[in-house]
Protein backbone atom coordinates (compact mmCIF):
# COMPACT_ATOMS: atom_id res chain seq x y z
CA UNK A 1 0.00 0.00 0.00
CA UNK A 2 1.12 3.54 -0.75
CA UNK A 3 -0.22 6.97 0.11
CA UNK A 4 -0.04 10.00 -2.13
CA UNK A 5 -0.45 12.81 0.41
CA UNK A 6 1.28 13.30 3.74
CA UNK A 7 -0.08 16.73 4.64
CA UNK A 8 -3.30 15.29 6.27
CA UNK A 9 -1.08 13.95 9.09
CA UNK A 10 -1.16 17.52 10.41
CA UNK A 11 -4.74 16.87 11.55
CA UNK A 12 -3.49 14.28 14.07
CA UNK A 13 -3.19 17.24 16.42
CA UNK A 14 -7.00 17.07 16.75
CA UNK A 15 -6.83 13.68 18.50
CA UNK A 16 -5.40 15.07 21.79
CA UNK A 17 -8.02 17.83 21.62
CA UNK A 18 -10.82 15.24 21.57
CA UNK A 19 -9.27 13.49 24.57
CA UNK A 20 -8.87 16.85 26.35
CA UNK A 21 -12.55 17.67 25.86
CA UNK A 22 -13.51 14.42 27.57
CA UNK A 23 -11.07 15.12 30.43
CA UNK A 24 -12.61 18.51 31.04
CA UNK A 25 -16.14 17.22 30.78
CA UNK A 26 -17.97 17.11 34.13
CA UNK A 27 -18.89 13.44 34.57
CA UNK A 28 -20.45 13.48 38.09
CA UNK A 29 -23.66 15.44 38.72
CA UNK A 30 -25.64 16.19 41.90
CA UNK A 31 -28.57 13.77 42.21
CA UNK A 32 -31.04 13.08 45.07
CA UNK A 33 -30.39 9.69 46.67
CA UNK A 34 -32.01 7.89 49.63
CA UNK A 35 -29.79 7.57 52.65
CA UNK A 36 -29.40 3.85 52.14
CA UNK A 37 -27.79 4.43 48.75
CA UNK A 38 -25.56 7.36 49.71
CA UNK A 39 -22.66 5.35 51.06
CA UNK A 40 -22.82 2.84 48.20
CA UNK A 41 -22.22 5.55 45.56
CA UNK A 42 -19.86 7.85 47.40
CA UNK A 43 -16.78 5.87 46.32
CA UNK A 44 -17.78 6.04 42.65
CA UNK A 45 -18.26 9.83 42.87
CA UNK A 46 -14.81 10.26 44.36
CA UNK A 47 -13.21 8.12 41.58
CA UNK A 48 -15.11 10.08 38.92
CA UNK A 49 -13.29 13.24 39.98
CA UNK A 50 -9.97 11.59 39.03
CA UNK A 51 -9.28 12.86 35.44
CA UNK A 52 -8.13 9.63 33.80
CA UNK A 53 -10.96 7.65 35.35
CA UNK A 54 -13.26 9.66 33.06
CA UNK A 55 -11.75 7.90 30.05
CA UNK A 56 -12.65 4.40 31.22
CA UNK A 57 -15.28 2.69 29.10
CA UNK A 58 -16.08 5.92 27.17
CA UNK A 59 -17.02 4.37 23.83
CA UNK A 60 -18.13 7.69 22.29
CA UNK A 61 -14.66 9.16 22.61
CA UNK A 62 -13.02 6.13 21.02
CA UNK A 63 -15.52 6.12 18.17
CA UNK A 64 -14.90 9.83 17.50
CA UNK A 65 -11.14 9.31 17.56
CA UNK A 66 -11.50 6.39 15.15
CA UNK A 67 -13.69 8.48 12.82
CA UNK A 68 -11.05 11.24 12.85
CA UNK A 69 -8.32 8.67 12.00
CA UNK A 70 -10.46 7.34 9.14
CA UNK A 71 -10.91 10.86 7.71
CA UNK A 72 -7.18 11.62 7.95
CA UNK A 73 -6.32 8.30 6.29
CA UNK A 74 -8.81 8.96 3.47
CA UNK A 75 -7.24 12.38 2.83
CA UNK A 76 -3.88 10.66 2.41
CA UNK A 77 -5.34 8.89 -0.68
CA UNK A 78 -4.19 5.34 0.06
CA UNK A 79 -3.72 2.91 -2.82
CA UNK A 80 -3.30 -0.85 -2.81
CA UNK A 81 -0.40 -1.46 -5.19
CA UNK A 82 -1.13 -5.14 -5.65
CA UNK A 83 -4.48 -6.53 -6.65
CA UNK A 84 -5.71 -3.21 -8.03
CA UNK A 85 -8.01 -3.14 -11.05
CA UNK A 86 -6.91 0.26 -12.44
CA UNK A 87 -3.60 0.24 -14.31
CA UNK A 88 -1.25 3.18 -14.07
CA UNK A 89 -0.89 5.20 -17.30
CA UNK A 90 1.82 7.82 -17.57
CA UNK A 91 2.66 10.16 -20.45
CA UNK A 92 6.12 11.73 -20.20
CA UNK A 93 6.50 14.82 -22.42
CA UNK A 94 10.07 16.11 -22.80
CA UNK A 95 10.89 19.42 -24.47
CA UNK A 96 13.78 18.97 -26.95
CA UNK A 97 13.71 22.43 -28.54
CA UNK A 98 16.91 24.44 -28.96
CA UNK A 99 16.59 26.32 -25.65
CA UNK A 100 16.94 23.04 -23.73
CA UNK A 101 20.66 23.19 -24.58
CA UNK A 102 20.94 26.01 -22.00
CA UNK A 103 23.06 25.17 -18.94
CA UNK A 104 20.92 24.11 -15.96
CA UNK A 105 23.87 23.91 -13.56
CA UNK A 106 27.63 23.33 -13.67
CA UNK A 107 27.18 19.76 -14.93
CA UNK A 108 23.96 19.49 -16.89
CA UNK A 109 21.97 21.21 -19.58
CA UNK A 110 18.24 21.68 -19.13
CA UNK A 111 17.60 18.60 -21.25
CA UNK A 112 20.15 16.46 -19.38
CA UNK A 113 18.60 17.49 -16.06
CA UNK A 114 15.12 16.69 -17.42
CA UNK A 115 16.26 13.22 -18.48
CA UNK A 116 17.70 12.52 -15.02
CA UNK A 117 14.49 13.65 -13.33
CA UNK A 118 12.38 11.61 -15.73
CA UNK A 119 14.43 8.49 -14.96
CA UNK A 120 13.82 9.01 -11.25
CA UNK A 121 10.11 9.26 -12.02
CA UNK A 122 10.27 6.01 -14.00
CA UNK A 123 11.95 4.22 -11.08
CA UNK A 124 9.17 5.39 -8.75
CA UNK A 125 6.39 4.04 -10.98
CA UNK A 126 4.59 0.83 -10.15
CA UNK A 127 5.64 -2.33 -11.95
CA UNK A 128 3.67 -2.87 -15.13
CA UNK A 129 2.78 0.80 -15.51
CA UNK A 130 2.07 1.73 -19.13
CA UNK A 131 4.33 4.65 -20.10
CA UNK A 132 4.42 6.74 -23.28
CA UNK A 133 7.42 8.97 -23.97
CA UNK A 134 6.80 11.98 -26.23
CA UNK A 135 9.58 14.30 -27.43
CA UNK A 136 8.69 17.79 -28.61
CA UNK A 137 10.97 20.09 -30.62
CA UNK A 138 9.58 21.80 -33.73
CA UNK A 139 7.07 18.94 -33.75
CA UNK A 140 6.02 16.18 -31.36
CA UNK A 141 6.75 12.48 -31.80
CA UNK A 142 6.08 9.31 -29.78
CA UNK A 143 9.50 7.87 -28.86
CA UNK A 144 8.40 4.89 -26.76
CA UNK A 145 5.24 3.21 -25.54
CA UNK A 146 5.21 0.18 -23.27
CA UNK A 147 5.94 -1.19 -19.80
CA UNK A 148 9.69 -1.96 -20.00
CA UNK A 149 11.45 0.51 -17.71
CA UNK A 150 14.94 -0.37 -19.00
CA UNK A 151 13.99 0.37 -22.62
CA UNK A 152 12.20 3.54 -21.58
CA UNK A 153 15.27 4.88 -19.75
CA UNK A 154 17.42 3.99 -22.76
CA UNK A 155 15.12 6.00 -25.03
CA UNK A 156 15.29 8.90 -22.58
CA UNK A 157 19.09 8.82 -22.77
CA UNK A 158 18.89 9.01 -26.57
CA UNK A 159 16.95 12.29 -26.58
CA UNK A 160 18.85 15.23 -28.08
CA UNK A 161 18.13 18.89 -28.64
CA UNK A 162 17.82 20.21 -32.20
CA UNK A 163 18.41 23.63 -33.71
CA UNK A 164 14.66 24.15 -33.77
CA UNK A 165 12.19 26.47 -32.08
CA UNK A 166 9.20 25.01 -30.30
CA UNK A 167 7.24 24.52 -27.08
CA UNK A 168 4.92 21.90 -25.59
CA UNK A 169 1.85 23.43 -27.25
CA UNK A 170 2.96 21.42 -30.29
CA UNK A 171 2.48 18.19 -28.32
CA UNK A 172 -1.18 18.85 -27.48
CA UNK A 173 -2.54 16.92 -30.46
CA UNK A 174 -0.55 13.74 -29.80
CA UNK A 175 -1.09 13.81 -26.03
CA UNK A 176 -4.84 14.32 -26.33
CA UNK A 177 -5.16 11.43 -28.76
CA UNK A 178 -3.16 9.22 -26.36
CA UNK A 179 -5.12 9.97 -23.19
CA UNK A 180 -8.65 10.18 -24.64
CA UNK A 181 -9.65 6.69 -23.45
CA UNK A 182 -7.19 6.25 -20.58
CA UNK A 183 -8.11 5.91 -16.92
CA UNK A 184 -5.83 6.82 -14.04
CA UNK A 185 -3.50 8.79 -16.32
CA UNK A 186 -0.76 11.25 -15.41
CA UNK A 187 0.85 13.70 -17.85
CA UNK A 188 4.30 14.73 -16.63
CA UNK A 189 6.00 17.50 -18.64
CA UNK A 190 9.63 18.65 -18.57
CA UNK A 191 10.17 22.05 -20.16
CA UNK A 192 11.80 25.46 -19.76
CA UNK A 193 9.22 27.44 -21.75
CA UNK A 194 5.73 28.58 -20.83
CA UNK A 195 2.85 26.96 -22.71
CA UNK A 196 -0.91 26.39 -22.49
CA UNK A 197 -0.80 23.47 -20.08
CA UNK A 198 -4.58 23.02 -20.05
CA UNK A 199 -4.49 22.15 -23.78
CA UNK A 200 -2.69 18.87 -23.00
CA UNK A 201 -5.70 17.36 -21.18
CA UNK A 202 -8.66 18.66 -23.18
CA UNK A 203 -9.74 15.13 -24.10
CA UNK A 204 -9.50 13.81 -20.53
CA UNK A 205 -10.41 16.24 -17.77
CA UNK A 206 -9.65 13.62 -15.11
CA UNK A 207 -6.00 13.34 -16.14
CA UNK A 208 -3.46 14.57 -13.61
CA UNK A 209 -1.08 17.15 -15.11
CA UNK A 210 2.31 17.87 -13.56
CA UNK A 211 4.73 20.37 -15.13
CA UNK A 212 8.37 20.11 -14.11
CA UNK A 213 9.99 23.51 -14.67
CA UNK A 214 13.67 23.26 -15.72
CA UNK A 215 14.12 26.95 -16.52
CA UNK A 216 17.45 28.33 -15.32
CA UNK A 217 19.17 31.71 -15.35
CA UNK A 218 22.72 32.39 -16.47
CA UNK A 219 24.93 34.79 -18.37
CA UNK A 220 24.20 34.42 -22.07
CA UNK A 221 25.28 36.44 -25.08
CA UNK A 222 23.87 35.50 -28.50
CA UNK A 223 25.05 36.15 -32.03
CA UNK A 224 21.70 36.95 -33.64
CA UNK A 225 22.69 36.85 -37.31
CA UNK A 226 25.48 37.42 -39.83
CA UNK A 227 24.90 39.15 -43.17
CA UNK A 228 26.87 40.93 -45.88
CA UNK A 229 26.73 43.67 -48.51
CA UNK A 230 28.63 43.86 -51.80
CA UNK A 231 30.13 47.05 -53.32
CA UNK A 232 33.26 48.17 -55.18
CA UNK A 233 35.45 47.62 -52.10
CA UNK A 234 34.41 44.00 -51.76
CA UNK A 235 32.07 42.01 -49.53
CA UNK A 236 31.51 43.57 -46.10
CA UNK A 237 30.13 41.25 -43.42
CA UNK A 238 28.23 42.39 -40.34
CA UNK A 239 26.60 40.70 -37.37
CA UNK A 240 24.36 41.54 -34.42
CA UNK A 241 25.19 40.59 -30.81
CA UNK A 242 22.69 40.63 -27.90
CA UNK A 243 23.52 40.38 -24.19
CA UNK A 244 20.73 38.63 -22.23
CA UNK A 245 22.75 38.61 -19.00
CA UNK A 246 22.87 40.99 -16.06
CA UNK A 247 26.49 42.11 -16.61
CA UNK A 248 28.19 44.07 -19.38
CA UNK A 249 30.41 41.87 -21.56
CA UNK A 250 33.39 42.43 -23.82
CA UNK A 251 34.15 39.72 -26.38
CA UNK A 252 36.07 39.08 -29.57
CA UNK A 253 34.04 38.10 -32.62
CA UNK A 254 35.83 36.09 -35.29
CA UNK A 255 34.79 36.05 -38.93
CA UNK A 256 35.48 32.84 -40.85
CA UNK A 257 35.51 32.45 -44.63
CA UNK A 258 34.75 28.77 -45.01
CA UNK A 259 37.17 27.41 -42.34
CA UNK A 260 39.73 30.22 -42.38
CA UNK A 261 39.72 33.22 -40.03
CA UNK A 262 39.75 36.47 -42.04
CA UNK A 263 38.94 39.10 -39.39
CA UNK A 264 38.48 39.62 -35.63
CA UNK A 265 36.55 42.48 -34.02
CA UNK A 266 36.06 43.35 -30.33
CA UNK A 267 32.66 44.45 -29.03
CA UNK A 268 31.30 45.59 -25.66
CA UNK A 269 27.60 44.98 -25.08
CA UNK A 270 25.73 46.32 -22.07
CA UNK A 271 23.36 44.09 -20.11
CA UNK A 272 20.05 43.72 -21.91
CA UNK A 273 21.22 45.53 -25.05
CA UNK A 274 22.41 44.71 -28.60
CA UNK A 275 25.26 45.89 -30.82
CA UNK A 276 25.95 45.62 -34.56
CA UNK A 277 29.53 44.72 -35.53
CA UNK A 278 31.07 45.47 -38.96
CA UNK A 279 34.01 43.50 -40.35
CA UNK A 280 36.72 44.55 -42.77
CA UNK A 281 35.59 44.13 -46.43
CA UNK A 282 36.77 40.91 -48.07
CA UNK A 283 37.30 39.91 -51.70
CA UNK A 284 34.77 37.05 -51.93
CA UNK A 285 33.26 35.45 -55.03
CA UNK A 286 29.45 35.61 -54.77
CA UNK A 287 28.92 32.29 -56.53
CA UNK A 288 27.77 30.16 -53.60
CA UNK A 289 31.22 28.70 -52.97
CA UNK A 290 31.87 30.80 -49.85
CA UNK A 291 30.36 30.43 -46.37
CA UNK A 292 30.73 33.30 -43.90
CA UNK A 293 30.55 32.38 -40.21
CA UNK A 294 30.73 34.78 -37.25
CA UNK A 295 31.54 33.34 -33.82
CA UNK A 296 31.80 34.69 -30.26
CA UNK A 297 35.04 33.89 -28.46
CA UNK A 298 33.72 33.18 -24.93
CA UNK A 299 31.60 30.28 -23.71
CA UNK A 300 28.46 31.05 -21.72
CA UNK A 301 25.25 29.42 -20.50
CA UNK A 302 24.11 28.70 -24.08
CA UNK A 303 26.97 28.05 -26.49
CA UNK A 304 24.68 26.95 -29.34
CA UNK A 305 23.69 30.56 -30.13
CA UNK A 306 27.30 31.82 -30.21
CA UNK A 307 27.72 31.48 -33.99
CA UNK A 308 25.76 32.12 -37.19
CA UNK A 309 26.55 31.34 -40.85
CA UNK A 310 25.43 32.52 -44.28
CA UNK A 311 26.15 31.52 -47.87
CA UNK A 312 27.56 34.28 -50.11
CA UNK A 313 25.54 34.34 -53.32
CA UNK A 314 24.99 36.96 -55.96
CA UNK A 315 21.91 39.12 -55.68
CA UNK A 316 21.88 39.75 -59.46
CA UNK A 317 18.59 38.91 -61.18
CA UNK A 318 18.50 35.71 -63.20
CA UNK A 319 17.38 35.67 -66.84
CA UNK A 320 15.39 32.88 -68.47
CA UNK A 321 14.77 32.54 -72.21
CA UNK A 322 11.52 30.71 -73.00
CA UNK A 323 11.44 29.33 -76.55
CA UNK A 324 7.81 28.38 -77.15
CA UNK A 325 4.87 28.86 -79.47
CA UNK A 326 2.91 30.07 -76.48
CA UNK A 327 2.53 28.60 -72.99
CA UNK A 328 0.96 30.94 -70.42
CA UNK A 329 1.04 28.28 -67.68
CA UNK A 330 4.77 27.73 -68.07
CA UNK A 331 5.53 31.44 -68.35
CA UNK A 332 3.63 32.23 -65.13
CA UNK A 333 5.30 29.40 -63.24
CA UNK A 334 8.77 30.53 -64.31
CA UNK A 335 8.01 34.15 -63.32
CA UNK A 336 6.96 33.43 -59.71
CA UNK A 337 10.44 34.19 -58.39
CA UNK A 338 10.84 37.98 -58.21
CA UNK A 339 14.57 37.66 -58.89
CA UNK A 340 13.89 36.01 -62.26
CA UNK A 341 13.11 37.80 -65.55
CA UNK A 342 11.54 35.71 -68.31
CA UNK A 343 12.17 36.55 -71.99
CA UNK A 344 10.06 34.89 -74.71
CA UNK A 345 10.61 33.95 -78.33
CA UNK A 346 9.06 31.55 -80.85
CA UNK A 347 12.15 31.38 -83.09
CA UNK A 348 15.01 28.95 -82.36
CA UNK A 349 17.31 31.18 -84.40
CA UNK A 350 17.39 33.64 -81.53
CA UNK A 351 20.26 31.45 -80.28
CA UNK A 352 22.34 32.66 -83.22
CA UNK A 353 22.11 36.23 -82.02
CA UNK A 354 25.14 37.42 -80.07
CA UNK A 355 25.41 39.77 -77.13
CA UNK A 356 22.79 38.19 -74.86
CA UNK A 357 23.44 35.30 -72.45
CA UNK A 358 20.76 33.74 -70.24
CA UNK A 359 20.93 31.64 -67.08
CA UNK A 360 18.30 29.14 -68.26
CA UNK A 361 17.06 28.17 -71.72
CA UNK A 362 13.62 26.53 -71.88
CA UNK A 363 12.73 24.64 -75.07
CA UNK A 364 8.97 24.05 -75.10
CA UNK A 365 8.11 21.92 -78.14
CA UNK A 366 9.62 24.37 -80.63
CA UNK A 367 11.52 22.76 -83.50
CA UNK A 368 15.15 22.03 -82.65
CA UNK A 369 18.06 22.34 -85.11
CA UNK A 370 18.73 19.32 -87.32
CA UNK A 371 21.88 17.22 -87.37
CA UNK A 372 23.50 19.53 -89.91
CA UNK A 373 23.19 22.57 -87.68
CA UNK A 374 25.44 21.53 -84.83
CA UNK A 375 27.28 24.20 -82.92
CA UNK A 376 24.25 26.05 -81.47
CA UNK A 377 25.11 24.83 -77.98
CA UNK A 378 28.24 26.96 -78.20
CA UNK A 379 25.99 30.03 -78.29
CA UNK A 380 24.67 29.18 -74.85
CA UNK A 381 26.41 30.30 -71.64
CA UNK A 382 28.94 27.81 -70.29
CA UNK A 383 27.03 27.19 -67.04
CA UNK A 384 23.50 27.97 -68.27
CA UNK A 385 20.81 25.39 -67.61
CA UNK A 386 18.63 23.68 -70.22
CA UNK A 387 15.02 22.54 -69.86
CA UNK A 388 13.37 20.49 -72.65
CA UNK A 389 9.63 19.79 -72.81
CA UNK A 390 7.91 17.43 -75.28
CA UNK A 391 10.94 16.35 -77.35
CA UNK A 392 11.77 13.02 -78.96
CA UNK A 393 15.18 13.93 -80.40
CA UNK A 394 18.46 15.18 -79.00
CA UNK A 395 19.72 18.78 -79.10
CA UNK A 396 22.86 19.58 -81.06
CA UNK A 397 24.22 16.03 -80.67
CA UNK A 398 24.88 16.48 -76.92
CA UNK A 399 23.27 13.19 -75.77
CA UNK A 400 20.88 14.99 -73.44
CA UNK A 401 18.01 12.62 -74.27
CA UNK A 402 17.41 9.19 -75.79
CA UNK A 403 13.77 8.34 -76.49
CA UNK A 404 12.66 4.82 -75.51
CA UNK A 405 8.99 4.99 -76.47
CA UNK A 406 5.70 6.86 -76.27
CA UNK A 407 2.63 6.29 -74.08
CA UNK A 408 -0.89 7.67 -74.30
CA UNK A 409 -3.71 8.22 -71.80
CA UNK A 410 -1.49 7.37 -68.88
CA UNK A 411 -1.09 8.42 -65.26
CA UNK A 412 2.27 9.91 -64.28
CA UNK A 413 3.63 10.14 -60.73
CA UNK A 414 6.39 12.25 -59.23
CA UNK A 415 9.42 10.43 -57.86
CA UNK A 416 10.97 11.41 -54.54
CA UNK A 417 13.80 13.89 -55.20
CA UNK A 418 14.97 17.38 -54.20
CA UNK A 419 12.92 18.96 -57.02
CA UNK A 420 9.71 17.14 -56.02
CA UNK A 421 9.80 17.90 -52.32
CA UNK A 422 6.26 18.30 -50.86
CA UNK A 423 4.64 16.82 -54.02
CA UNK A 424 6.27 13.36 -54.23
CA UNK A 425 2.93 11.63 -53.61
CA UNK A 426 1.09 13.52 -56.37
CA UNK A 427 -0.11 11.88 -59.63
CA UNK A 428 -1.65 13.45 -62.74
CA UNK A 429 -3.22 12.36 -66.01
CA UNK A 430 -1.57 12.75 -69.40
CA UNK A 431 -2.93 12.26 -72.93
CA UNK A 432 0.51 11.63 -74.46
CA UNK A 433 4.15 11.64 -73.38
CA UNK A 434 7.54 10.45 -74.57
CA UNK A 435 9.54 8.09 -72.37
CA UNK A 436 13.34 7.97 -72.21
CA UNK A 437 16.27 5.83 -71.29
CA UNK A 438 17.54 7.31 -68.03
CA UNK A 439 21.10 8.66 -68.50
CA UNK A 440 23.69 7.61 -65.92
CA UNK A 441 24.18 11.27 -64.95
CA UNK A 442 20.47 11.94 -64.34
CA UNK A 443 17.81 11.31 -61.72
CA UNK A 444 14.20 10.40 -62.59
CA UNK A 445 11.43 12.75 -61.42
CA UNK A 446 8.38 11.49 -63.35
CA UNK A 447 7.38 7.89 -64.21
CA UNK A 448 4.30 6.19 -65.58
CA UNK A 449 2.52 3.26 -63.90
CA UNK A 450 4.83 0.81 -65.72
CA UNK A 451 7.95 2.51 -64.40
CA UNK A 452 8.94 4.19 -67.66
CA UNK A 453 10.81 7.47 -67.19
CA UNK A 454 8.89 10.48 -68.49
CA UNK A 455 11.08 13.15 -66.89
CA UNK A 456 14.51 13.52 -65.29
CA UNK A 457 17.22 16.04 -64.40
CA UNK A 458 20.94 16.08 -63.70
CA UNK A 459 24.25 17.69 -64.60
CA UNK A 460 26.04 16.83 -67.86
CA UNK A 461 28.66 19.57 -68.03
CA UNK A 462 25.70 21.90 -67.42
CA UNK A 463 22.33 21.45 -65.56
CA UNK A 464 19.82 19.69 -67.81
CA UNK A 465 16.17 18.63 -67.31
CA UNK A 466 13.88 16.76 -69.71
CA UNK A 467 10.07 16.42 -69.49
CA UNK A 468 8.48 14.26 -72.20
CA UNK A 469 5.05 15.87 -72.33
CA UNK A 470 3.32 19.07 -73.39
CA UNK A 471 1.97 20.99 -70.38
CA UNK A 472 -1.28 21.58 -72.30
CA UNK A 473 -1.94 17.82 -72.54
CA UNK A 474 -2.16 17.35 -68.76
CA UNK A 475 -4.24 18.60 -65.87
CA UNK A 476 -1.04 19.37 -63.96
CA UNK A 477 -0.93 23.04 -64.98
CA UNK A 478 -4.24 23.67 -63.16
CA UNK A 479 -3.01 22.19 -59.87
CA UNK A 480 -1.14 23.91 -57.02
CA UNK A 481 1.64 21.31 -57.38
CA UNK A 482 2.72 22.67 -60.78
CA UNK A 483 4.25 26.00 -59.66
CA UNK A 484 5.89 24.24 -56.70
CA UNK A 485 7.51 21.70 -59.01
CA UNK A 486 8.66 24.29 -61.56
CA UNK A 487 10.06 26.57 -58.87
CA UNK A 488 12.12 23.77 -57.30
CA UNK A 489 13.29 22.51 -60.71
CA UNK A 490 14.41 26.00 -61.75
CA UNK A 491 16.33 26.42 -58.49
CA UNK A 492 18.53 23.52 -59.62
CA UNK A 493 18.77 24.59 -63.28
CA UNK A 494 19.40 28.32 -62.90
CA UNK A 495 23.05 29.41 -62.63
CA UNK A 496 25.78 26.85 -62.02
CA UNK A 497 23.39 24.14 -60.96
CA UNK A 498 25.29 23.61 -57.69
CA UNK A 499 23.22 22.66 -54.68
CA UNK A 500 23.32 25.29 -51.96
CA UNK A 501 25.16 24.45 -48.76
CA UNK A 502 22.92 23.27 -45.95
CA UNK A 503 23.22 25.81 -43.15
CA UNK A 504 21.37 25.42 -39.87
CA UNK A 505 21.52 28.40 -37.55
CA UNK A 506 20.30 28.61 -33.96
CA UNK A 507 16.78 30.19 -33.79
CA UNK A 508 17.91 33.08 -31.59
CA UNK A 509 14.70 35.10 -31.63
CA UNK A 510 12.56 32.25 -30.28
CA UNK A 511 14.99 30.23 -28.16
CA UNK A 512 17.83 32.33 -26.71
CA UNK A 513 15.64 34.02 -24.10
CA UNK A 514 12.47 31.98 -23.53
CA UNK A 515 9.61 32.90 -21.22
CA UNK A 516 9.77 30.71 -18.09
CA UNK A 517 6.96 28.42 -17.04
CA UNK A 518 4.25 30.24 -15.08
CA UNK A 519 3.67 29.49 -11.39
CA UNK A 520 0.25 27.95 -11.98
CA UNK A 521 1.62 25.55 -14.58
CA UNK A 522 4.37 24.43 -12.21
CA UNK A 523 1.82 23.38 -9.61
CA UNK A 524 -0.53 21.92 -12.19
CA UNK A 525 -2.88 19.41 -10.54
CA UNK A 526 -0.16 17.65 -8.62
CA UNK A 527 -2.50 17.17 -5.66
CA UNK A 528 -4.67 14.95 -7.84
CA UNK A 529 -1.82 12.65 -8.82
CA UNK A 530 -2.80 8.99 -8.71
CA UNK A 531 -0.68 5.90 -8.93
CA UNK A 532 -1.35 2.37 -10.10
CA UNK A 533 -3.34 -0.13 -8.10
CA UNK A 534 -6.69 -0.01 -6.36
CA UNK A 535 -7.69 3.23 -4.67
CA UNK A 536 -9.42 2.58 -1.31
CA UNK A 537 -10.23 6.18 -0.39
CA UNK A 538 -13.97 5.83 -0.96
CA UNK A 539 -14.07 2.57 0.98
CA UNK A 540 -12.57 4.32 4.01
CA UNK A 541 -15.03 7.21 3.65
CA UNK A 542 -17.91 4.71 3.57
CA UNK A 543 -16.65 3.13 6.80
CA UNK A 544 -16.47 6.63 8.29
CA UNK A 545 -20.15 7.24 7.47
CA UNK A 546 -21.18 3.97 9.08
CA UNK A 547 -19.08 4.79 12.15
CA UNK A 548 -20.71 8.24 12.46
CA UNK A 549 -24.18 6.66 12.30
CA UNK A 550 -23.29 4.14 15.01
CA UNK A 551 -21.71 6.88 17.13
CA UNK A 552 -24.92 8.97 16.94
CA UNK A 553 -27.11 6.02 17.97
CA UNK A 554 -24.92 5.40 21.04
CA UNK A 555 -24.88 9.13 21.82
CA UNK A 556 -28.67 9.32 21.78
CA UNK A 557 -28.96 6.35 24.16
CA UNK A 558 -26.27 7.46 26.61
CA UNK A 559 -26.57 11.23 26.74
CA UNK A 560 -29.54 13.20 27.96
CA UNK A 561 -28.90 16.69 26.63
CA UNK A 562 -31.00 19.59 25.41
CA UNK A 563 -28.46 20.22 22.60
CA UNK A 564 -29.08 17.02 20.68
CA UNK A 565 -30.52 18.90 17.70
CA UNK A 566 -27.41 21.05 17.38
CA UNK A 567 -25.14 18.00 17.67
CA UNK A 568 -27.26 16.18 15.05
CA UNK A 569 -26.90 19.12 12.63
CA UNK A 570 -23.12 19.09 13.05
CA UNK A 571 -22.95 15.36 12.37
CA UNK A 572 -25.21 15.70 9.31
CA UNK A 573 -22.97 18.40 7.84
CA UNK A 574 -19.94 16.19 8.45
CA UNK A 575 -21.61 13.24 6.74
CA UNK A 576 -22.63 15.45 3.78
CA UNK A 577 -19.02 16.55 3.37
CA UNK A 578 -17.89 12.91 3.39
CA UNK A 579 -20.51 11.97 0.76
CA UNK A 580 -19.44 14.87 -1.49
CA UNK A 581 -15.83 13.75 -1.12
CA UNK A 582 -16.81 10.24 -2.23
CA UNK A 583 -18.41 11.77 -5.33
CA UNK A 584 -15.11 13.62 -6.03
CA UNK A 585 -16.84 16.97 -5.50
CA UNK A 586 -14.58 17.85 -2.59
Compare 248 and 479 and report the one with higher pLDDT: 248
pLDDT tier, 12 (very low <50, low <70, confident <90, very high otherwise): confident
Of 36-40, 216-220, 233-237, where does mean pLDDT reach its minimum?
Answer: 36-40
pLDDT tier, 298 (very low <50, low <70, confident <90, very high otherwise): very high
pLDDT tier, 32 (very low <50, low <70, confident <90, very high otherwise): low
For residue 433, pLDDT over 90 is answered with yes
For residue 348, pLDDT over 90 is answered with no
Predicted confidence at residue 132, as pLDDT, reads 95
Mean pLDDT of all residues in 168-190? 91
Query: d(Cα 93, Cα 112) in Å, to the nearest integer?
Result: 14
For residue 71, pLDDT over 80 is answered with yes
- Give, for 313, the enclosing helix (H) or strand (E): strand 307-313
C-alpha separations of 49 from 33, 55, 328, 503 in Å:
19, 11, 113, 92
Predicted confidence at residue 45, as pLDDT, reads 55
Mean pLDDT of all residues in 357-384? 73
Predicted confidence at residue 496, as pLDDT, reads 42
What's the whole-number average pLDDT of the chain? 82
Beta strands in 69-184 (DSSP E): 78-80, 89-95, 130-136, 140-146
CA-nearest of 166, 495, 97 to 311 is 495
Of 22-36, 139-153, 173-187, 245-259, where does mean pLDDT reach its minimum?
Answer: 22-36
Of 9-13, 118-122, 186-190, 532-536, where does mean pLDDT reach its minimum?
Answer: 532-536
Per-residue model confidence as pLDDT tens digits over 278-297: 999 988 876 667 899 999 99
CA-nearest of 121, 63, 113, 68 to 91 is 121
Predicted confidence at residue 302, as pLDDT, reads 95
Mean pLDDT of all residues in 323-344? 83
Mean pLDDT of all residues in 540-558? 81
pTM of this structure: 0.54
Asked if residue 344 lies in contact with residue 521, where contact means CB atoms within 8 angstroms, the answer is no
Of 12-26, 129-143, 233-247, where does mean pLDDT reach its minimum?
Answer: 12-26
Beta strands in 314-372 (DSSP E): 318-324, 340-345, 360-364
Compare 105 and 313 and report the one with higher pLDDT: 105
Predicted confidence at residue 134, as pLDDT, reads 96
Of 205-214, 368-377, 385-394, 453-462, where does mean pLDDT reach its minimum?
Answer: 368-377
Mean pLDDT of all residues in 304-328? 84
Query: d(Cα 176, Cα 201) in Å, to the nearest integer?
Result: 6
Per-residue model confidence as pLDDT tens digits over 114-148: 999 999 999 888 878 899 999 999 999 999 999 99
Mean pLDDT of all residues in 182-206? 89
Mean pLDDT of all residues in 154-158? 95
Highest mean pLDDT of the ranges 376-390, 452-466, 533-547 = 452-466
Mean pLDDT of all residues in 252-256? 96
Mean pLDDT of all residues in 438-462? 91
For residue 497, pLDDT over 80 is answered with no
Contacts of 445 (CB under 8 A, 6+ apart): 414, 415, 417, 419, 420, 455, 456, 457, 465, 489
Asked if residue 189 lies in contact with residue 160, where contact means CB atoms within 8 angstroms, the answer is no
Predicted confidence at residue 541, as pLDDT, reads 82
Amino acid sequence: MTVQNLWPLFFLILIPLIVLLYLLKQKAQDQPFSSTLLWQEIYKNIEAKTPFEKLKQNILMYMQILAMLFLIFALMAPVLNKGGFIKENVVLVVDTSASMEYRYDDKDTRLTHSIKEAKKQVDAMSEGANVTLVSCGSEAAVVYQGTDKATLKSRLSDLETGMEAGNLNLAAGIVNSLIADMENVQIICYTDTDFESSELKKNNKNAALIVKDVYSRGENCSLDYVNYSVDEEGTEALCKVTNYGEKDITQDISLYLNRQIVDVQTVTVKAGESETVYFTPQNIAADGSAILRAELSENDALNADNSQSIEVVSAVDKKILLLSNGNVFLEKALSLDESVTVYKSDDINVLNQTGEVYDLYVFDGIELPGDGEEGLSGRIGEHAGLLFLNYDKDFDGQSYMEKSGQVKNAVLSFEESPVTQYIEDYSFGITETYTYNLPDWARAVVRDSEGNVAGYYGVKERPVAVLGFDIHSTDLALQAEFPIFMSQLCDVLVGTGKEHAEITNFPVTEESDVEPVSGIAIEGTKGNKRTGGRAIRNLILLLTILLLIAEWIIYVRQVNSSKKKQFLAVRCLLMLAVILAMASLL
